Chains A and B, each alone.
Chain A
Protein backbone atom coordinates (compact mmCIF):
# COMPACT_ATOMS: atom_id res chain seq x y z
CA UNK A 1 0.00 0.00 0.00
CA UNK A 2 2.79 2.39 0.82
CA UNK A 3 4.22 2.04 -2.67
CA UNK A 4 0.82 2.69 -4.21
CA UNK A 5 0.43 5.79 -2.10
CA UNK A 6 3.81 7.01 -3.18
CA UNK A 7 3.18 6.30 -6.82
CA UNK A 8 -0.12 8.16 -6.69
CA UNK A 9 1.63 10.97 -4.95
CA UNK A 10 4.20 11.03 -7.67
CA UNK A 11 1.52 11.13 -10.33
CA UNK A 12 0.36 14.43 -8.88
CA UNK A 13 3.74 15.81 -9.69
CA UNK A 14 3.59 18.92 -11.78
CA UNK A 15 4.92 17.68 -15.08
CA UNK A 16 1.68 19.42 -15.92
CA UNK A 17 3.33 22.76 -15.99
CA UNK A 18 0.28 24.80 -15.28
CA UNK A 19 -0.62 22.98 -12.09
CA UNK A 20 2.05 23.91 -9.63
CA UNK A 21 5.37 25.58 -9.46
CA UNK A 22 7.37 22.42 -8.88
CA UNK A 23 7.70 19.68 -6.37
CA UNK A 24 10.71 20.06 -4.16
CA UNK A 25 13.46 17.68 -5.13
CA UNK A 26 13.30 16.22 -1.63
CA UNK A 27 10.20 14.29 -2.53
CA UNK A 28 12.18 12.10 -4.89
CA UNK A 29 13.99 10.48 -2.00
CA UNK A 30 10.82 9.05 -0.59
CA UNK A 31 10.56 6.74 -3.57
CA UNK A 32 13.77 4.96 -2.89
CA UNK A 33 13.76 1.36 -2.00
CA UNK A 34 10.08 0.87 -2.67
CA UNK A 35 9.46 -2.42 -4.34
CA UNK A 36 6.56 -4.03 -2.74
CA UNK A 37 4.62 -6.87 -3.65
CA UNK A 38 3.62 -8.89 -6.61
CA UNK A 39 5.14 -11.69 -8.49
CA UNK A 40 4.24 -12.85 -11.93
CA UNK A 41 5.06 -12.55 -15.53
CA UNK A 42 3.88 -9.17 -16.63
CA UNK A 43 3.62 -7.77 -20.06
CA UNK A 44 2.99 -4.12 -20.54
CA UNK A 45 0.93 -3.80 -23.66
CA UNK A 46 1.33 -0.60 -25.49
CA UNK A 47 -1.62 -0.99 -27.75
CA UNK A 48 -4.00 1.25 -25.84
CA UNK A 49 -4.24 4.75 -27.15
CA UNK A 50 -5.24 7.88 -25.40
CA UNK A 51 -8.26 9.66 -26.72
CA UNK A 52 -7.11 13.24 -26.49
CA UNK A 53 -3.93 14.95 -27.51
CA UNK A 54 -1.34 15.54 -24.87
CA UNK A 55 0.04 19.03 -24.68
CA UNK A 56 3.79 19.01 -24.58
CA UNK A 57 5.63 21.28 -22.24
CA UNK A 58 6.69 23.56 -25.04
CA UNK A 59 3.09 23.97 -26.11
CA UNK A 60 3.18 21.72 -29.15
CA UNK A 61 0.70 18.91 -29.47
CA UNK A 62 2.26 15.47 -29.26
CA UNK A 63 1.79 12.88 -31.92
CA UNK A 64 0.51 9.45 -30.89
CA UNK A 65 3.78 7.61 -31.35
CA UNK A 66 5.74 10.19 -29.43
CA UNK A 67 3.68 10.01 -26.31
CA UNK A 68 4.66 6.76 -24.73
CA UNK A 69 8.41 7.00 -24.78
CA UNK A 70 8.24 10.60 -23.67
CA UNK A 71 6.10 9.56 -20.74
CA UNK A 72 8.70 7.00 -19.91
CA UNK A 73 11.52 9.44 -20.00
CA UNK A 74 9.95 12.51 -18.54
CA UNK A 75 11.59 13.31 -15.27
CA UNK A 76 10.15 11.69 -12.23
CA UNK A 77 7.99 9.09 -13.94
CA UNK A 78 11.13 7.62 -15.40
CA UNK A 79 12.62 7.99 -11.98
CA UNK A 80 9.98 5.75 -10.46
CA UNK A 81 10.57 2.92 -12.84
CA UNK A 82 14.25 3.07 -12.23
CA UNK A 83 13.92 2.93 -8.48
CA UNK A 84 11.34 0.22 -8.50
CA UNK A 85 13.80 -1.78 -10.58
CA UNK A 86 16.67 -1.21 -8.22
CA UNK A 87 16.48 -4.50 -6.45
CA UNK A 88 15.85 -6.71 -9.41
CA UNK A 89 18.16 -6.92 -12.32
CA UNK A 90 16.28 -6.62 -15.56
CA UNK A 91 12.87 -5.13 -16.05
CA UNK A 92 12.69 -2.81 -18.91
CA UNK A 93 15.62 -1.05 -20.41
CA UNK A 94 15.26 2.71 -20.36
CA UNK A 95 17.29 2.88 -23.50
CA UNK A 96 14.55 1.33 -25.57
CA UNK A 97 12.72 4.55 -26.05
CA UNK A 98 10.45 4.55 -29.00
CA UNK A 99 10.10 0.79 -28.93
CA UNK A 100 7.27 -1.19 -27.51
CA UNK A 101 8.22 -2.05 -23.98
CA UNK A 102 7.79 -5.60 -22.85
CA UNK A 103 8.06 -6.06 -19.14
CA UNK A 104 8.36 -9.79 -19.31
CA UNK A 105 9.74 -11.15 -16.09
CA UNK A 106 11.42 -14.51 -16.26
CA UNK A 107 9.48 -16.97 -14.17
CA UNK A 108 12.41 -17.93 -12.00
CA UNK A 109 12.73 -14.39 -10.70
CA UNK A 110 10.50 -14.53 -7.69
CA UNK A 111 10.94 -10.93 -6.64
CA UNK A 112 7.61 -9.31 -6.13
CA UNK A 113 6.96 -6.39 -8.36
CA UNK A 114 4.07 -4.18 -9.21
CA UNK A 115 3.66 -2.21 -12.37
CA UNK A 116 1.88 1.08 -12.45
CA UNK A 117 1.37 2.92 -15.65
CA UNK A 118 0.83 6.62 -15.28
CA UNK A 119 -0.92 8.56 -18.02
CA UNK A 120 -0.43 12.27 -17.71
CA UNK A 121 -3.01 13.97 -19.80
CA UNK A 122 -3.85 17.65 -19.93
CA UNK A 123 -7.35 19.03 -19.78
CA UNK A 124 -9.76 16.31 -20.86
CA UNK A 125 -13.47 16.54 -21.48
CA UNK A 126 -15.37 14.60 -18.80
CA UNK A 127 -17.24 12.25 -21.10
CA UNK A 128 -14.13 11.36 -23.01
CA UNK A 129 -12.32 10.60 -19.81
CA UNK A 130 -15.25 8.48 -18.68
CA UNK A 131 -15.21 6.43 -21.88
CA UNK A 132 -11.47 5.99 -21.58
CA UNK A 133 -11.83 4.79 -18.01
CA UNK A 134 -14.49 2.26 -18.97
CA UNK A 135 -12.30 0.90 -21.70
CA UNK A 136 -9.27 0.72 -19.46
CA UNK A 137 -11.25 -0.89 -16.66
CA UNK A 138 -12.49 -3.60 -19.03
CA UNK A 139 -8.92 -4.15 -20.19
CA UNK A 140 -7.65 -4.26 -16.65
CA UNK A 141 -10.29 -6.77 -15.67
CA UNK A 142 -9.07 -9.26 -18.25
CA UNK A 143 -5.46 -8.47 -17.42
CA UNK A 144 -4.57 -6.84 -20.71
CA UNK A 145 -3.03 -3.83 -19.05
CA UNK A 146 -1.32 -3.32 -15.70
CA UNK A 147 -2.61 -1.01 -12.99
CA UNK A 148 -3.03 2.39 -14.54
CA UNK A 149 -3.46 5.90 -13.21
CA UNK A 150 -4.86 8.75 -15.26
CA UNK A 151 -3.68 12.17 -14.18
CA UNK A 152 -5.62 15.02 -15.71
CA UNK A 153 -7.89 18.05 -15.31
CA UNK A 154 -11.38 18.76 -16.59
CA UNK A 155 -13.00 21.84 -18.09
CA UNK A 156 -15.68 23.25 -15.74
CA UNK A 157 -17.92 20.27 -15.05
CA UNK A 158 -20.40 19.34 -12.36
CA UNK A 159 -20.88 15.65 -11.71
CA UNK A 160 -23.40 13.62 -9.76
CA UNK A 161 -22.87 10.24 -8.20
CA UNK A 162 -24.97 7.12 -8.38
CA UNK A 163 -27.55 8.53 -6.00
CA UNK A 164 -28.28 11.32 -8.50
CA UNK A 165 -28.66 14.00 -5.86
CA UNK A 166 -29.98 16.72 -8.14
CA UNK A 167 -31.34 18.56 -5.12
CA UNK A 168 -27.81 19.59 -4.24
CA UNK A 169 -27.47 21.54 -7.47
CA UNK A 170 -28.59 25.06 -6.62
CA UNK A 171 -28.86 26.50 -10.12
CA UNK A 172 -30.87 25.51 -13.15
CA UNK A 173 -29.48 23.66 -16.16
CA UNK A 174 -29.78 26.81 -18.27
CA UNK A 175 -27.63 28.71 -15.82
CA UNK A 176 -25.04 26.02 -16.21
CA UNK A 177 -24.97 26.59 -19.94
CA UNK A 178 -24.45 30.29 -19.38
CA UNK A 179 -21.58 29.54 -17.05
CA UNK A 180 -20.05 27.24 -19.60
CA UNK A 181 -20.19 24.25 -17.32
CA UNK A 182 -21.42 20.75 -18.07
CA UNK A 183 -23.37 18.38 -15.86
CA UNK A 184 -22.87 14.63 -15.92
CA UNK A 185 -24.33 11.69 -14.06
CA UNK A 186 -21.97 8.91 -13.16
CA UNK A 187 -21.88 5.55 -11.47
CA UNK A 188 -19.37 6.60 -8.85
CA UNK A 189 -20.06 6.92 -5.16
CA UNK A 190 -20.36 10.27 -3.50
CA UNK A 191 -22.57 13.29 -3.99
CA UNK A 192 -22.39 16.28 -6.31
CA UNK A 193 -19.10 18.00 -6.95
CA UNK A 194 -17.32 20.35 -9.31
CA UNK A 195 -14.25 19.76 -11.44
CA UNK A 196 -12.37 22.47 -13.24
CA UNK A 197 -8.96 23.60 -14.41
CA UNK A 198 -6.31 23.86 -11.69
CA UNK A 199 -7.84 20.92 -9.89
CA UNK A 200 -5.69 17.80 -10.04
CA UNK A 201 -7.68 14.70 -10.83
CA UNK A 202 -6.40 11.15 -10.52
CA UNK A 203 -8.30 8.16 -11.81
CA UNK A 204 -6.52 4.99 -10.69
CA UNK A 205 -7.70 1.95 -12.61
CA UNK A 206 -6.32 -0.75 -10.40
CA UNK A 207 -7.29 -4.20 -9.27
CA UNK A 208 -8.19 -4.21 -5.61
CA UNK A 209 -8.56 -7.97 -5.57
CA UNK A 210 -4.93 -8.39 -6.55
CA UNK A 211 -3.81 -6.42 -3.53
CA UNK A 212 -6.50 -7.70 -1.20
CA UNK A 213 -8.01 -4.28 -0.51
CA UNK A 214 -11.58 -3.42 0.25
CA UNK A 215 -13.32 -0.16 -0.52
CA UNK A 216 -12.55 1.34 2.84
CA UNK A 217 -8.81 0.65 2.73
CA UNK A 218 -8.60 1.98 -0.77
CA UNK A 219 -10.41 5.21 0.02
CA UNK A 220 -8.30 5.69 3.12
CA UNK A 221 -5.23 5.20 0.94
CA UNK A 222 -6.43 7.89 -1.45
CA UNK A 223 -7.04 10.22 1.48
CA UNK A 224 -3.53 9.67 2.86
CA UNK A 225 -2.04 10.36 -0.55
CA UNK A 226 -3.70 13.75 -0.65
CA UNK A 227 -2.79 14.52 2.94
CA UNK A 228 0.85 13.66 2.25
CA UNK A 229 0.88 15.86 -0.81
CA UNK A 230 -0.65 18.76 1.08
CA UNK A 231 1.89 18.42 3.85
CA UNK A 232 4.70 18.76 1.34
CA UNK A 233 3.44 22.23 0.70
CA UNK A 234 3.01 23.02 4.36
CA UNK A 235 -0.74 22.55 4.35
CA UNK A 236 -2.07 20.63 7.31
CA UNK A 237 -4.87 18.51 5.96
CA UNK A 238 -6.73 15.70 7.67
CA UNK A 239 -9.32 13.11 6.79
CA UNK A 240 -12.93 13.80 7.60
CA UNK A 241 -14.93 12.56 10.54
CA UNK A 242 -16.83 9.32 10.19
CA UNK A 243 -19.10 9.50 7.19
CA UNK A 244 -17.37 12.54 5.72
CA UNK A 245 -14.98 11.08 3.21
CA UNK A 246 -12.49 13.50 1.81
CA UNK A 247 -9.54 15.59 2.86
CA UNK A 248 -10.13 18.70 4.91
CA UNK A 249 -8.20 21.74 6.01
CA UNK A 250 -9.99 22.84 9.14
CA UNK A 251 -13.63 22.96 8.20
CA UNK A 252 -13.21 23.12 4.47
CA UNK A 253 -12.63 20.46 1.90
CA UNK A 254 -9.52 20.43 -0.21
CA UNK A 255 -9.74 16.95 -1.66
CA UNK A 256 -12.75 14.94 -2.77
CA UNK A 257 -13.12 11.28 -3.54
CA UNK A 258 -15.67 9.35 -5.58
CA UNK A 259 -14.95 5.83 -6.65
CA UNK A 260 -16.59 2.99 -8.50
CA UNK A 261 -15.51 -0.59 -7.91
CA UNK A 262 -16.68 -3.13 -10.42
CA UNK A 263 -15.43 -6.72 -10.25
CA UNK A 264 -12.64 -5.47 -8.06
CA UNK A 265 -11.43 -2.88 -10.58
CA UNK A 266 -11.56 0.75 -9.53
CA UNK A 267 -12.52 3.68 -11.69
CA UNK A 268 -13.08 7.36 -10.98
CA UNK A 269 -10.92 8.52 -8.11
CA UNK A 270 -9.94 11.72 -6.43
CA UNK A 271 -9.91 15.43 -7.08
CA UNK A 272 -7.46 17.70 -5.29
CA UNK A 273 -7.97 21.46 -5.30
CA UNK A 274 -4.76 23.18 -6.26
CA UNK A 275 -6.09 26.49 -7.47
CA UNK A 276 -9.52 26.09 -9.05
CA UNK A 277 -12.06 28.88 -9.25
CA UNK A 278 -13.96 28.40 -5.99
CA UNK A 279 -16.93 30.44 -7.20
CA UNK A 280 -18.22 27.40 -9.07
CA UNK A 281 -18.67 25.61 -5.75
CA UNK A 282 -21.19 28.19 -4.65
CA UNK A 283 -23.73 26.76 -7.05
CA UNK A 284 -23.89 23.40 -5.33
CA UNK A 285 -23.96 21.88 -1.90
CA UNK A 286 -20.60 20.18 -2.32
CA UNK A 287 -20.78 16.49 -1.56
CA UNK A 288 -24.14 17.14 0.04
CA UNK A 289 -22.55 18.47 3.22
CA UNK A 290 -24.42 21.64 4.09
CA UNK A 291 -22.40 23.46 6.64
CA UNK A 292 -18.87 23.03 5.38
CA UNK A 293 -17.03 24.97 2.69
CA UNK A 294 -14.36 24.30 0.11
CA UNK A 295 -10.80 25.50 -0.10
CA UNK A 296 -7.65 25.24 -2.21
Chain B
Protein backbone atom coordinates (compact mmCIF):
# COMPACT_ATOMS: atom_id res chain seq x y z
CA UNK B 1 0.00 0.00 0.00
CA UNK B 2 2.76 2.40 0.97
CA UNK B 3 4.72 1.64 -2.17
CA UNK B 4 1.65 2.23 -4.27
CA UNK B 5 1.15 5.60 -2.59
CA UNK B 6 4.77 6.40 -3.27
CA UNK B 7 4.43 5.43 -6.91
CA UNK B 8 1.26 7.48 -7.21
CA UNK B 9 2.82 10.60 -5.77
CA UNK B 10 5.92 10.19 -7.93
CA UNK B 11 3.75 9.77 -10.99
CA UNK B 12 1.75 12.81 -10.00
CA UNK B 13 4.80 14.99 -9.62
CA UNK B 14 6.22 13.74 -12.93
CA UNK B 15 2.99 14.58 -14.67
CA UNK B 16 2.87 17.80 -12.67
CA UNK B 17 -0.62 17.31 -11.36
CA UNK B 18 -1.63 17.90 -7.78
CA UNK B 19 -1.52 14.87 -5.63
CA UNK B 20 -3.10 14.14 -2.30
CA UNK B 21 -0.89 15.10 0.56
CA UNK B 22 1.35 12.29 1.71
CA UNK B 23 0.52 12.18 5.35
CA UNK B 24 3.67 10.43 6.37
CA UNK B 25 6.20 13.22 7.12
CA UNK B 26 8.57 11.92 9.72
CA UNK B 27 8.71 13.27 13.23
CA UNK B 28 11.45 12.63 15.74
CA UNK B 29 10.61 11.99 19.38
CA UNK B 30 12.46 13.93 22.09
CA UNK B 31 12.35 17.11 20.05
CA UNK B 32 10.08 20.03 20.69
CA UNK B 33 8.09 21.58 17.87
CA UNK B 34 6.77 25.03 17.10
CA UNK B 35 3.52 25.57 15.25
CA UNK B 36 5.50 27.25 12.51
CA UNK B 37 7.16 23.88 11.79
CA UNK B 38 10.55 24.33 13.39
CA UNK B 39 12.05 21.80 15.78
CA UNK B 40 14.36 22.34 18.70
CA UNK B 41 16.66 19.81 20.36
CA UNK B 42 17.57 20.72 23.89
CA UNK B 43 20.88 19.84 25.49
CA UNK B 44 21.18 21.58 28.85
CA UNK B 45 20.84 25.25 28.02
CA UNK B 46 21.96 24.79 24.45
CA UNK B 47 19.33 24.35 21.75
CA UNK B 48 19.73 23.19 18.15
CA UNK B 49 17.09 24.46 15.73
CA UNK B 50 15.97 23.39 12.30
CA UNK B 51 12.84 22.94 10.20
CA UNK B 52 10.74 19.80 10.20
CA UNK B 53 10.27 17.21 7.51
CA UNK B 54 6.75 18.54 6.95
CA UNK B 55 8.14 22.02 6.35
CA UNK B 56 10.84 20.94 3.93
CA UNK B 57 8.34 18.86 2.02
CA UNK B 58 6.00 21.80 1.64
CA UNK B 59 8.84 24.08 0.62
CA UNK B 60 10.35 22.07 -2.17
CA UNK B 61 14.05 21.87 -2.97
CA UNK B 62 15.94 24.42 -0.90
CA UNK B 63 18.48 26.37 -2.94
CA UNK B 64 19.62 28.94 -0.40
CA UNK B 65 19.60 29.38 3.36
CA UNK B 66 20.04 32.83 4.85
CA UNK B 67 21.83 32.35 8.14
CA UNK B 68 22.03 34.90 10.95
CA UNK B 69 25.39 36.06 12.31
CA UNK B 70 26.84 34.37 15.36
CA UNK B 71 26.16 36.43 18.45
CA UNK B 72 22.80 37.78 17.29
CA UNK B 73 19.91 37.55 19.72
CA UNK B 74 16.85 35.61 18.65
CA UNK B 75 13.40 35.70 20.15
CA UNK B 76 10.74 33.06 20.37
CA UNK B 77 8.31 33.44 17.49
CA UNK B 78 10.40 36.01 15.64
CA UNK B 79 12.20 35.26 12.40
CA UNK B 80 15.94 34.82 12.33
CA UNK B 81 16.66 33.81 8.77
CA UNK B 82 15.08 32.49 5.62
CA UNK B 83 15.17 29.56 3.23
CA UNK B 84 14.66 29.89 -0.48
CA UNK B 85 13.08 27.24 -2.66
CA UNK B 86 11.19 27.32 -5.97
CA UNK B 87 11.67 31.08 -6.20
CA UNK B 88 9.97 31.60 -2.84
CA UNK B 89 11.82 32.82 0.23
CA UNK B 90 10.20 31.70 3.46
CA UNK B 91 11.08 33.13 6.85
CA UNK B 92 12.13 30.77 9.63
CA UNK B 93 11.05 31.63 13.15
CA UNK B 94 12.92 30.72 16.29
CA UNK B 95 11.10 28.45 18.75
CA UNK B 96 13.18 29.78 21.66
CA UNK B 97 14.87 33.02 22.71
CA UNK B 98 18.58 33.31 23.26
CA UNK B 99 21.86 34.06 21.57
CA UNK B 100 23.12 32.38 18.43
CA UNK B 101 26.34 30.51 19.23
CA UNK B 102 26.79 28.54 16.05
CA UNK B 103 25.34 28.39 12.56
CA UNK B 104 25.52 25.51 10.13
CA UNK B 105 27.90 26.85 7.51
CA UNK B 106 27.55 23.61 5.53
CA UNK B 107 24.21 24.94 4.35
CA UNK B 108 25.90 27.69 2.34
CA UNK B 109 27.43 25.12 0.04
CA UNK B 110 24.84 22.36 0.41
CA UNK B 111 21.44 23.88 1.08
CA UNK B 112 19.86 20.60 0.02
CA UNK B 113 20.81 19.13 3.40
CA UNK B 114 17.68 20.78 4.74
CA UNK B 115 15.61 18.55 2.48
CA UNK B 116 17.69 15.42 2.77
CA UNK B 117 18.28 15.45 6.51
CA UNK B 118 16.05 18.03 8.18
CA UNK B 119 16.56 16.73 11.73
CA UNK B 120 20.21 15.86 11.55
CA UNK B 121 22.67 17.36 9.08
CA UNK B 122 20.19 20.04 8.06
CA UNK B 123 20.22 21.81 11.42
CA UNK B 124 20.28 25.54 11.02
CA UNK B 125 21.44 27.32 14.19
CA UNK B 126 22.50 26.55 17.74
CA UNK B 127 21.25 28.87 20.43
CA UNK B 128 22.19 29.47 24.04
CA UNK B 129 18.73 29.59 25.62
CA UNK B 130 17.68 32.46 27.79
CA UNK B 131 14.63 30.92 29.37
CA UNK B 132 14.04 27.17 29.51
CA UNK B 133 10.44 27.82 30.47
CA UNK B 134 9.67 28.75 26.86
CA UNK B 135 9.90 25.07 25.96
CA UNK B 136 6.61 24.50 27.72
CA UNK B 137 4.78 26.45 25.08
CA UNK B 138 6.10 24.16 22.35
CA UNK B 139 4.56 20.89 21.21
CA UNK B 140 6.01 17.46 21.77
CA UNK B 141 6.22 14.95 18.96
CA UNK B 142 2.76 13.47 19.46
CA UNK B 143 1.02 16.84 19.50
CA UNK B 144 2.99 17.92 16.46
CA UNK B 145 1.94 14.87 14.48
CA UNK B 146 -1.67 15.70 15.23
CA UNK B 147 -1.08 19.32 14.34
CA UNK B 148 0.30 18.59 10.88
Which residue numbers of A lie inside 8 Å of B, CB to CB? 1, 161-163, 187-190, 213-220, 239, 242-243, 245-246, 257-264
Contacts and interface: CB of A to CB of B under 8 A. Distances in A.
A246 to B, nearest CB: 8
A189 B82 CA distance: 10
A262 B91 contact: yes
A219 B64 contact: no
A216 B89 contact: no
B90 interface: yes
Nearest to B78: A263
Contacts of B84: 161-163, 189
B140 interface: no
Contact of B82 (A162, A220, A239): A162
B139 to A, nearest CB: 16
B29 interface: no
Interface in B65-124: 66, 79, 82, 84-91, 93
Given A162-B66, A216-B60, A190 B79 contact: no
A289 to B, nearest CB: 12
Interface of B: 16, 18, 36, 55, 57-61, 63-64, 66, 79, 82, 84-91, 93
Residue in A216, A242, A245 with the greatest tally of chain B CB atoms within 10 Å: A216
B88 A219 contact: yes
B61 A242 contact: yes
A242 B85 CA distance: 11
Given A214-B59, A217-B58, A239-B16, A162 B87 contact: no
Nearest to A265: B91
B33 to A, nearest CB: 16
A261 B87 contact: no
B74 to A, nearest CB: 15
Contacts of A217: 18, 58
A261 B86 contact: no
Nearest to A186: B89
Given A162-B82, A219-B86, A263-B79, 10 more contacts: A161-B84, A188-B89, A215-B88, A217-B18, A217-B58, A219-B60, A242-B61, A262-B79, A262-B90, A263-B36
Given A162-B64, A214-B57, A217-B58, A260 B85 contact: no
A214 B89 CA distance: 11
Nearest to A243: B61
A215 B58 contact: yes
Contacts of B86: 189, 215-216, 219, 245
Q: Pick the 8 closest A-B CB pairs, nearest first.
A: A214-B58, A216-B60, A190-B87, A259-B88, A215-B88, A245-B87, A189-B89, A261-B90
A261 B88 contact: yes
Nearest to B93: A263
Contacts of B61: 242-243
B85 A216 contact: yes
Contacts of B93: 263
B16 A161 contact: no
A216 B58 contact: yes
Contacts of A239: 16
Contacts of A259: 87-89
Contacts of B58: 213-217
A260 B82 CA distance: 10
A243 B89 CA distance: 14
Residue in B61, B66, B89, B91 with the greatest tally of chain A CB atoms within 10 Å: B89
Contacts of B36: 263-264
A161 B60 contact: no
A260 B89 contact: yes
A160 to B, nearest CB: 12
A54 to B, nearest CB: 29
B24 to A, nearest CB: 16
A219 B16 CA distance: 12
Nearest to A239: B16
A55 B47 CA distance: 54
